[in-house]
Amino acid sequence: MSDVLVYERAPASFVAALAKRGHHIIYRANEANHCPGCGRSQWIIGRSTAECAFCGTAMPLAETSWQEVLPSVSRPKAVSTPDERRFPRVRAKGRKLKLLINGSPTNFAIHNISEGGAMGTHSRELTPGAEVHVRFEGGILVPAVVKWTENGMVGLAFVDPVILDRSDQSRN
Q: Are residues 59 and 119 in the same domain?
A: no
Establish if 54 belongs to a structural domain: yes
Q: Is 59 inside a domain boundary?
A: yes
63 and 98 within one domain: no
More confident residue, 164 or 23: 164
Average pLDDT over residues 145-149: 90
Provide the domain limits for residue 97.
90-158
Transcribe 85-154 into DSSP letters: -SS--EEEEEEEEEEEETTEEEEEEEEEE-SSEEEEE-SS---TT-EEEEE-GGG-EEEEEEEEEETTEE
CATH classification of the domain holding 142 = 2.40.10.220
Instruction: Please give the pLDDT value at position 52.
Output: 92
- In this predicted model, which residue has the larger pLDDT, 125 or 69? 125
20, part of any domain:
yes
Assess contact for 118 and 110: CB atoms under 8 A.
yes
Over residues 66-89, the pLDDT tens digits come to 555 555 555 555 555 555 567 777
| pTM (two decimals) | 0.48
Residue 107 and residue 148 in one domain: yes
Q: Is residue 168 part of a domain?
A: no
- 56 and 13 in a common domain: yes
Domain's final residue, options 68, 98, 121: 68
Is 79 part of any domain? no
Would residue 85 count as lying in a domain?
no
Question: Confidence class of residue 145 from pLDDT cuts 50, 70 and 90?
Answer: very high
Same-domain check for residues 100 and 64: no
Helix H or strand E encompassing 155: strand 153-158
Residue 163 covered by a domain: no
What total of structural domains would you count in the chain?
A: 2
Domain identity same for 59 and 114:
no
Are residues 22 and 56 located together in one domain of the fold? Answer: yes
pLDDT at 166 over 80: no
In a domain, 12, yes or no: yes
Looking at the fold, whether 96 and 64 belong to one and the same domain comes out as no
- Residue 57, pLDDT > 70, answer yes
Does residue 53 contact residue 42 with C-beta atoms inside 8 Å? yes
Across all residues in the chain, what is the average pLDDT? 77
113 has pLDDT over 70: yes
**Cα gap 81→49, rounded to integer Å:** 49
